[in-house]
Structure 1
Amino acid sequence: MQKNYYQQLLFLHTIAQSGSISAAAKKLEISAAAVSKSLQTLEQEMGLPLILRTTRKLVLTEAGEKLIQQTKEAVYAIEDAFESLSSDANPPSGTVKITLPQVAFYIAIQPIYAQFCQQYPNIQLELSINNAMVDIVDHYFDLGIRFGHSIEEGMIAHQLTAPMREGLFVSKEYAQKYGVPQSIADLKNHRFIGHRFMTHNRLNPLTLNIDGEERQIALESQLIFNDTEIMMDAIIQGMGIGRIFDLRYQQLNLQQELIPVLEPYWRSFPAFYLYYFPKHQQLKRVKAVIEFLLGERSKLAKW
C-alpha cells in the first residue's frame, strides 16, 4: 500500500465534504495546488476519475462515491485515534457540524449557543438549518437534532426538549376585530395564515387531533410563508390565525400578545432529540458539544 494513501483519502473526503478544492484547502490549511495534486495522484493510482470538474462545482463520480463510502469509517477511525491520543491538557478544538430544522434551532439551540461559544472558544460550530431529513453520516455531520420519531436506526439519541404541540393562535387585535373561532367548522370564516414546506415546496395542511385521530383541514390562505418565524410575526401583527409550537410560544412569553385557539384539537409532536453515530462521540470536540447541550437542557422551555 502507498504510504500516502491516508493523506490522499483524507483530502478526497474533505473535498467531498467542502464542495470544492479551494474550500477543502482552507479547511486543511494547505494550498489548493497541493490538494489538487493529491487528488490527481490518487486518480492516477486508481486508474479512474473520482471527481467530475465542472465550471460551477465538483461532483463525485460513481467510483468516487463508492470509494468515499467504503473508506468513510476507516478515515473516521484514524481521526478518532489521533484525537483520543492527544493530551488531556489540550482543550477541545476544531469544527463540529450540526444539522437541524429551523424550529429546533430556536427552541433548543438559540438560548444556549452563545454561552457555548464563550466556554469553548476553540470549537467552531457549523449549524446547517435544513427542514429535510439529512443522513448525518453521508453528509459529514457530527450531530443532528430532529423529532424523536424521525431518527435513523443505529444512532445514539438523547432527549433535548419536552414533547410539544402545534398550536393555533390569534393576536388580541385580531380577536377584537373578527372574534375567535369556537369550532373547527368556524375556521373557514376566519383568515388563516398558510405555511409552505421549504424543502418540498408544497403547502403544509392544517392538521388537527379530532377524536384521537389526526385529520387535515382544508383552508384558503391570503398569506403563505415558508418561514415559521415570519409566519409568527404575521400572527402577532393581527393578520390571521396561524400555527406556532407551544414551546416556542412559552419561550417568547407571548401570553400577553396572543390568544390560543381550539386548544383541545392541537396536534402533538414528540420531543427534539440530539443524535449521532456512535463513533462520533469519541472525538473530544464532539463530546464537548454533547455534554454541554445535555447539561443545559434545564434552560429550554418546559423541560
Structure 2
Amino acid sequence: MRREELVDLNAFLTVAEEKSFTRAAARLGTSQSALSHTIRRLETRLGVRLLTRTTRSLAPTDAGERLLGTLGPALASIGEELSALSALRDKPAGTIRITTSAHAARTILWPALHRLLPDYPDIHVELGVHAGFTDIVAERFDAGVRLGEALARDMIATPIGPDLTMAIVGSPDYLARRPAPTCPQDLADHQCINLRMASGGGLYAWELERDGRDIRVRVEGQLAFNNTDMIIEAARAGFGLGFVMEDQVTADIADGRLIRVMAEWCPSFAGYHLYYPSRREHSAAFTVVMEALRYRP
C-alpha cells in the first residue's frame, strides 16, 4: 500500500466518523475542498461510491460500511502500536557507570538504586568501588562520587547525601587502661589505628577542628589498614583509637561496644556529591539515576 492510499483511507474514516466534511476538515487540519477531492480520488481508485451526500446529511454506502468495518479496527491497531513505539523510544535505557567509595556505595547509592531499578528494567548500573580517586573521563565512567564540592572546573557536582561527621572511638577496655583524650595533643599518648591512603600511599592525618581552628594530627600506633572496616574491628578489640565516619559506628556506640571521645573536635562537613563532565550530553537513563540520587533535605 502506498503512503497516499493510507492518507486517503484515514480521511474517509474521519469523514464517516464526523458525518460532516466541515468538521472532518477541521479535525484533519485541511480545507473542505481538499478533503472532498481526497474522497473522490479514493472512490475513483476503488471504483465504488463510499459516501452518500445530500444537502442535509452524509452517510456511508454499503461499500463504505464494509470498508469501515475493516478500516476502523485496523487503523486503531496501528495507532496503538505507534503509541507503544513512542513509549519505547522515550523509555530510559542503557548502562550507567559510576565510580565510588565503598562507604558511599553502601550508604547512598545502593539504597537509592534498590528503590529505583525495579521500575526501570532497561537501565543497567555498574558501580566501580575504588578507595582512591579515579579519572572518570579516562576510565570511561559516566560519573563519580566524592566528598565535598571541590572539583575540576569542567565538572558539575550534585549533592547526593547529607553532611557527614567523623568520630574518634575506642573500646571500653582500651579507655579503662588510660585517660580518654580531650584535645589533639593528648593523642600522642594513645595507640591510634592508622589509615593508609590509596592515593599516594601515605598515612592519613586526622583532620580536627574546633572554634574555627583546623589542625591535622599525625598519629601513631601498632596497626594501619587501608580499610575502615578493619579499623573499626581493631578498635572494638581494644587495640587503640579509630577515626572513622560517625554513621559507621553509631550502633557500636549505642550498644556500648565503642565509646566516642573528643566529639567537639569533629564538626560536620560537606557530604557526598555526584560529579560529571559539564560538556557531556546525558542520556535519559543518566538523568533518571541522577534524580534518584539527588539529596533532598
TM norm structure 1: 0.61
Partners in 2 of 1:183 and 1:271 — Cα distance?
25
Residue in 2 that maps onto 1:89: 88
Structure exhibiting the larger radius of gyration computed from Cα positions = 2
Is the contact made by 2:204 and 2:218 (CA closer than 8 Å) also made in structure 1?
Answer: no
Deviations 1:75-121 (A, max 9, x none): xxxxxxxxxxx843354222110012233223322333333343333
AA matched with 2:272: F
AA matched with 2:261: V
How far did 1:279 drift?
A: 5.5
Is the contact made by 2:112 and 2:292 (CA closer than 8 Å) also made in structure 1?
Answer: no
Residue in 1 that maps onto 2:125: 125
Change (3 A) 1:106 1:239: farther
- Consecutive unaligned residues of structure 2, counting only runs of 5 or more, are 1-84
Change (3 A) 1:136 1:170: same
- Percent identity between matched residues is 27
AA matched with 2:225: F
Residue in 2 that maps onto 1:284: 284
- Consecutive unaligned residues of structure 1, counting only runs of 5 or more, are 1-85
Partners in 2 of 1:240 and 1:105 — Cα distance?
27
Ranges of 4+ aligned residues in structure 1 off by more than 6 Å: none
AA matched with 2:98: I
Residue in 1 that maps onto 2:33: none
Is the contact made by 2:253 and 2:260 (CA closer than 8 Å) also made in structure 1?
Answer: no
Deviations 1:164-195 (A, max 9, x none): 22221112333334442233332222221111
Is the contact made by 2:98 and 2:144 (CA closer than 8 Å) also made in structure 1?
Answer: yes
Deviations 1:219-270 (A, max 9, x none): 22101000112212222333211111224344x5743232221111126532
TM norm structure 2: 0.62
- 1:1-303 pair list within 5 angstroms: 87-89=86-88, 91-250=91-250, 254-256=253-255, 257-266=257-266, 268-278=268-278, 280=280, 282-294=282-294, 297=295, 303=297
Partners in 2 of 1:200 and 1:97 — Cα distance?
25
Change (3 A) 1:145 1:281: farther
Partners in 2 of 1:119 and 1:289 — Cα distance?
12
Partners in 2 of 1:200 and 1:135 — Cα distance?
15
Partners in 2 of 1:180 and 1:221 — Cα distance?
16
The two structures, once aligned, show a CA RMSD in angstroms of 2.6
**SS of residue matched to 2:200:** coil
How far did 1:282 drift?
A: 3.3
Partners in 1 of 2:136 and 2:156 — Cα distance?
12
Is the contact made by 1:207 and 1:267 (CA closer than 8 Å) also made in structure 2?
Answer: no
Q: Which 10-residue stretch deviates more, 151-160 or 282-291?
A: 151-160
How far did 1:290 drift?
A: 0.9
Partners in 1 of 2:281 and 2:260 — Cα distance?
41
